[in-house]
Amino acid sequence: MSEIFKALPGIEVPVVAIKKGLTQMWNDTAASGGAAPQHDAAKATQVNFVVQFGLQTTVADATEQFQIAVRFSRRYPCRVVVLCPMPDDTTETEMRAKIYGECHLGKSKGDTRCCEFVMLNYPPSSRPFVENQVSICLSTDLPLYYWAHRFISSARISQFNFLLNRSKRVLLDSAITPADALTFPWPKPEAVRDLAHARLLPVRQTIGQFLSAYAPAKLIEGLSGVTLVHTPAVAAEARVLAKWLTHRLTGCGATDVAVTLKENAGGASFELEFNYTNAHRFHWCGDLEHGSGKFEADYGTGKTTLPTAVSLLTPEAALGEAMFF
Three-state secondary structure readout of 5-72 = HHHCCCEEECHHHHHHHHHHHHHHHHHCCCCCCCCHHHCCCCEEEEEEECCCCCHHHHHHHHHHHHHH
| pLDDT score of 123 more than 80 | yes
Query: Tell me, what's the pLDDT at 228?
Result: 98
Tens digits of per-residue pLDDT, 130-140? 999 999 999 88
Instruction: Identify the three-state secondary structure at position 98.
Output: strand
Task: State the average pLDDT for the chain.
Answer: 94
DSSP E strand boundaries for the chain: 11-13, 47-53, 78-85, 96-105, 112-122, 144-149, 169-172, 192-194, 223-230, 259-263, 270-276, 281-287, 292-298, 304-309
Q: Is the torsion defined by CA of 214, 215, 219, 221 positive or negative?
A: negative
Q: How far apart are CA 279 and CA 299, in angstroms?
A: 8
Tens digits of per-residue pLDDT, 226-263? 999 999 999 999 999 999 999 999 999 999 899 999 99
Q: Which residue would you say has higher pLDDT here, 195 or 43?
A: 195
Give 106's pLDDT tier (boundaries 50, 70, 90).
low
Helical pair 235-251 and 201-211, crossing angle rounded to 10 deg: 30
Which positions ≥6 away from 155 have C-beta within 8 Å?
184
Tens digits of per-residue pLDDT, 46-89? 899 999 999 999 999 999 999 999 999 988 888 999 999 999 89
By residue count, the chain amounts to 325
| pLDDT score of 41 more than 60 | no
Beta bridge partners of residue 47, listed in sequence order = 78
| pLDDT score of 40 more than 80 | no
**Comparing 31-45, 64-78, 189-203, 279-293, which segment has the lowest mean pLDDT?**
31-45
Tens digits of per-residue pLDDT, 158-174? 999 999 999 999 999 99
Distances from the Cα of 149 to the Cα of 60, 173, 186, 253, 284, angstroms: 13, 7, 16, 38, 32
CB 240 within 8 A of CB 196: yes
